[in-house]
Structure formats: structure tokens, C-alpha cells
Structure 1
Amino acid sequence: MAVQEKTTVRRAVCPGSFDPITNGHLDIIERASRLYDVVHIAVLINKSKQGLFTVEERIQMIEEVSAGYGNVVVESHHGLLVDYCRDRGIPAIVKGLRAVSDFDYELQMAQMNIGLSGVETLFVPTSPTYSFLSSSLVKEVAAYGGDVSHLVPALVHRRLVARIAERK
């Protein structure tokens, strides 16, 4: 019996605000890129939050730092994540979990998403190296002059330092 050719493209989405993208985000994206044929990065727009970087700047940074994976698509989205998934035929959401406190909230979201649309959520434990890391923490430490160069990609660090200097 001949082996049947693979005709289905395995897709997943990694959602977030990515303001800015951190090495923790990249760890999850890189791991998802090994499991899926195409990984969509959905930069979610929250009009009630003023980001340090514009959505367009975030997209550009993510495209640059993830280019080496070869199977990452970066887009913005405003609205329900399940609508983004439905419009693109994406059956799975990949989320990184840093701690038990993340799980409580993310489990509720996962249950809501599968109930609304049948989209599954896969939880990936964060590498212990990045278990404390968040974009908010990176911005706060950088704003006070702390060294966050080991927490974000080099090009993101340069832009972060420049943006903070602009705002002083």
C-alpha cells in the first residue's frame, strides 16, 4: 500500500500583544514552528491600551526576529481570536504558560474558545529561563535603566532603548 501524500497544512496561531516581543515569546514561537507547517502570529489590538510600540512596529520586529523559522506569518487582529482562526482555517491556538496563575486564566479562555468555535488550545510550558518574563516587566525595567538585553532579541533591545529615550 502506498503512503498517501500529505495534503493538509497544519496551522496554529500564537496570539499576543508582543509589546515588545521577548525571548520567551520567541521560545514558544520557535517550538510551535517545529510542530506546525504554518504558525500565524496574531498581534492582537487592544484599543484601550496604549502600547510602547505601534502595531506596525511590533509586526515588523516579529517578522525580523522570526524570519529564520521560515514558516511564520505575522498579522494584526482586532476582535475575537476565534474569528481570526475561523477566517484562516486555523484549528489550534498555542499558548505559553509561565506559572499556575497563567493556567487559571488561560484555561477559561481555552474553554470559551472551544465552546465558541471548536478551536483547540495547546499549552506549552515556558522554558525555565523565561518563566518570569513578560513584556510589561521588560518595559518597566528598561524604563528605569535596567539591562534587559538578555531578555529580548538584539534588534528589539536597540529599538526599546531608543523608544524609551524618545519619551524622556
Structure 2
Amino acid sequence: MSSAIFPGSFDPVSNGHMDIIRRSAKNFDRLVVGVFNNIRKKSFLPVEVRVEALKEAVKDMENVEVVSFDGLLADYMVKHDIPVIIRGLRSVTDFEYEQGQAQVIRQIHPGLDTFFLLTKPELSCVSSSVIREIYGFGGDISTLVPESVLIAIEHFNKK
């Protein structure tokens, strides 16, 4: 059985993330979407809210599970027998960052590999930080996030 993990803070999950999830789910028997709390960023939504919104967004994909985790990604992967990391790339800058991360993980755990997927061009400008900024200024984010995520954001932030 082929397994992969698509890790991220998903704060919030975007339609770009969903594109990577859908495409990855078609290529692996099991896809784990791993939500982590990025300690370098102030959280927009609590991890639990992100996990529940993502579970709702992927409920039509039988081979996708959503989990939250702490600690090193590579350690989680080894513990749960997941040999492949999925990374979505929007730009050259994303590639440079993710390449370094992939090389470090491979150095620590040679059995783990990283697959890069290019974001669809029409979604390459969409990021969680852009979504947070648009929402913060009262803009419409309904075309940028799945419906379950929009509901979670509106419920949690009660504007």
C-alpha cells in the first residue's frame, strides 16, 4: 500500500491546498493530511478547528485522513510507516525552501522521499496569508477556500 503525507499548518486551508490533496489522493492508496501548529506564526484558527474543517472538506475522498501532530515530521512518518512527503509548489521561492527541507529530512531518514507538485497556475497566487489578509480587511474569500473552511472561519471569528 502506498502512503504519503501532505503536511502543513493549513491556517486556513485554501483551494490551492485542496487541489494538491485531490491530485495526491489519486496517486497514493493512503494520503494523510497532517496539520501542525507552526510555532513561527501566530495562529489564525486553532488546530482543532483546522482539522475539523479539513475533515469536512475531504469527506468525499475515502483514502484521505486528516490528523494533527506535534514534533518532527520525519519522526511522525517513520512511526506511522509513511515514506513520502507531498509538497505543493507555487513559485521558485517555494521550491528553494522546500528543496532544503527535503534534503535535511532525507539526510536524517534516508528512506523518506519528497514529491513536489506544481500548483495550478490559477491558484498560484493563493496562500493562507493572502486569505487571512483579505478576510481581515473584510474582503470576500469564498472563492479561495472550501465551504467548510469559510464556515469555520466565520464561526470562529464572528465578524
Task: Tell me the TM-score normalised to structure 2 length.
Answer: 0.94
RCO higher in 1 or 2 (8 Å CA, sep ≥ 6)? 2
- Aligned counterpart, 1:135: 128
Note if 1:112 corresponds to 2:104. yes
| Equivalent residue, structure 1, for 2:58 | 66
Deviation string, structure 1 residues 85-133 (Cα, Å, up to 9, x no partner):
0001111000000000100100000101111112100000001111011
Bigger drift between 129-138 and 154-163 goes to: 154-163
Greater CA radius of gyration, 1 or 2?
1
Partner of 1:6: none
Which consecutive unaligned segments of at least 5 residues does structure 2 have?
none
Question: Which amino acid letter does the alignment assign opposite residue 133 of structure 2?
Answer: E
Q: State percent identity of aligned pairs.
A: 39
The reply on whether 1:34 has 2:26 as its aligned counterpart is yes
* Partners of 2:83 and 2:113 within 8 A in 1: yes
- Whether 2:92 is the aligned partner of 1:100: answer yes
Deviation of 1:36 after TM superposition, in Å, equals 0.3
Distance in structure 2 (CA, Å) of the matches to 1:103 and 1:132 = 15
Amino acid at match of 1:98: R
Give the C-alpha shift of residue 48 in structure 1: 4.8
For structure 1, the 5+ residue unaligned runs are 1-8
Range with bigger deviation, 122-131 or 40-49: 40-49
Evaluate the alpha carbon distance shift between residue 104 and residue 47 of structure 1 in structure 2; reply closer, same or farther with a 3 A threshold: closer
Runs ≥4 in structure 1, deviation > 6 angstroms?
A: none
Q: Hey, what's the Cα distance between the residues in 1 that align with 2:101 and 2:114?
A: 9
TM-score by length of 1: 0.89
SS across alignment from 2:32? strand
Give RMSD over aligned pairs: 1.2
- C-alpha displacement of 1:156: 1.3
Match of 2:114 among 117, 121, 124: 121
For the 8 Å contact 1:17–1:45, the answer to whether it is kept is yes
- The 10-residue stretch of structure 1 (50-59 or 118-127) with the greater mean CA deviation from structure 2: 50-59
Q: Which residue of 1 aligns with 2:152?
A: 159
Greater shift after overlay, 68-77 or 153-162? 153-162
**Distance (whole Å) between structure 2 residues aligned to residue 40 and residue 159 of structure 1:** 21
- 3, 10, 19: which one aligns with 1:18: 10
